[in-house]
Amino acid sequence: MTPSENQEKLHRHPRFPWAALVCLGMLASITPGCGGKGAAGTQKRGEGAVPVAVATVAQRDVPIDVEVIGNVEAYSTVAVKAQVGGELVKVYFNEGDSVHKGDQLFEIDRRPLEAALNQAQANQARDQALFGQAEANLARDIAQQEYVQAQAERYAELFKSGISSRDQTEQLRANANAISQAVKADRAAIESARAQMAAGKAAMENTTVQLGYTTIRSPIDGRTGNLMVKQGNIVVPNSMDLMIINQIQPIYVTFAVPEARLSEIKKYMAHGKVPVFAQSQDAESAREAGLLTFVDNAVDLTTGTIKLKATFPNAERRLWPGQFVRVVVRLAIQQNGIVVPNQAVQTGQEGQFVYVVKADRTVEQRPVLVGARVEQDLVINRGLRPGETVVTEGQLRLAPGSRVQLRGDRGGRPEGDRQGRGKPGS
């Protein structure tokens, strides 16, 4: 049957699909036989393979870290105040200077307190003189008492013998009693003079202390801040801050970690000192090393975190109070950990998995148990072996058994080594 007869027969049967008509036309334009190669020819080798990027599973020692954001806090802070009033006559430092404990910072006018001290010293000398006078009076009255008492006793014996009169005997006895009372008064005057001397001495010592407060010295090693009262102003005692000193060597870094990590941190602290590293937001700055020294006694109920502090020597003064820093708490070092780039791990309905490239360039979907993260890599606790190849890019077009075409090999790296990622593969 000729092609024209076939078309005429199709027109007489309207239910015949037009797709069949198109197929018949194509068959007429190619070599006879549906199984022929036609114009397309044989499929080239490698067509249909999915291009992917890969990495080699590495094995190395990896740190177990907790990474958070922390805040730098001064080791100690002292607000310097005046303890006596007067004119601020001298400032011995410049704002922002580093000072040492005992360095002189300010001087307040000493003259009013020096005058008060001179007065207290004069009063003390007067009280000492009065005390000496009271002692002399006591000695005189005691001597007179002894004489009068002996005389009264003699006249009493004479009165019994009828030699002296009653009136004379009673007069001598009254004189003896009066002298005895004078001795008691002298003793009381001595005690009063002694108390007056003690009060004068205390006043003199207090004035001496107040005079010492006119010279203000640094109580700690640290760095001075803004000067709030300038030279020449009148200061009022204990009412205003003259300046604030922050101790920055050593220095604290305060941060918070989730309460789920508390038991782990306490476990490692029980076995030894836990190192902590801090680095400013500037990526080029060096890391400071310190030790974890404080764990708060309660978990914050609003955030579910617990406050920790680390102490840093801060020898180079890279850390500054109030600064935000990246904090790494290094709990331990995991020996011979299995490491892959974090983009190799995918999450499916049954959990986390990776695509492993087999020797025949097909992929296998393998479930893995993921551990800690180390920079841009993940530790695999179960599911992979060192030396295997995993897919890091192009997973969305893959299924188990898919054939892949490798674009590059990105192997696991030692910590801090930026070389070797993305090196050319097959």
Rounded to 10°, the helix 3-11/18-29 angle is 180
Residue 424 has pLDDT above 60, yes or no: no
The per-residue pLDDT for 372 is 79
Q: pLDDT of 158-173, one tens digit each?
A: 777 777 777 777 787 8
In CATH terms, is domain 65-73+246-334 a member of 3.40.50.920? Answer: no
Q: pLDDT of 138-153, one tens digit each?
A: 888 888 888 888 877 7
The per-residue pLDDT for 412 is 42
The per-residue pLDDT for 27 is 36
Mean pLDDT of 254-274: 91
Minimum mean pLDDT range among 4-13, 69-78, 296-305, 372-381: 4-13
pTM: predicted TM-score of the whole model, two decimal places: 0.62
Q: Give dist(CA 300, CA 173) in Å, integer.
A: 88
CA distances from 52 to 55, 199, 366 (A): 10, 94, 17
Q: pLDDT of 221-259, one tens digit each?
A: 999 999 999 999 999 999 889 999 999 999 999 999 999
The per-residue pLDDT for 249 is 93
The per-residue pLDDT for 371 is 84
Residue 206 has pLDDT above 60, yes or no: yes
More confident residue, 282 or 127: 127
Mean pLDDT of 290-313: 94
Look at the block and give the residue holding tokens 């001075």: 224
Q: pLDDT of 15-66, one tens digit each?
A: 444 344 333 334 333 333 333 333 333 334 445 789 999 999 999 888 888 8
The per-residue pLDDT for 365 is 93
What residues does each domain of the chain span? Answer: 52-60+336-409, 65-73+246-334, 83-104+219-239, 111-212
Q: What is the mean pLDDT of the chain?
A: 82
Instruction: Name the architecture of domain 52-60+336-409.
Output: Beta Barrel (2.40)
Residue 123 has pLDDT above 50, yes or no: yes
Residue 315 has pLDDT above 80, yes or no: yes
The per-residue pLDDT for 146 is 82
The pair of three-digit structure tokens given for residue 420, joined into one six-digit string: 């070797």
> Model confidence at 203, in pLDDT bands (50, 70, 90)?
very high
> Model confidence at 374, in pLDDT bands (50, 70, 90)?
confident
The per-residue pLDDT for 84 is 93
The pair of three-digit structure tokens given for residue 55, joined into one six-digit string: 């990495």
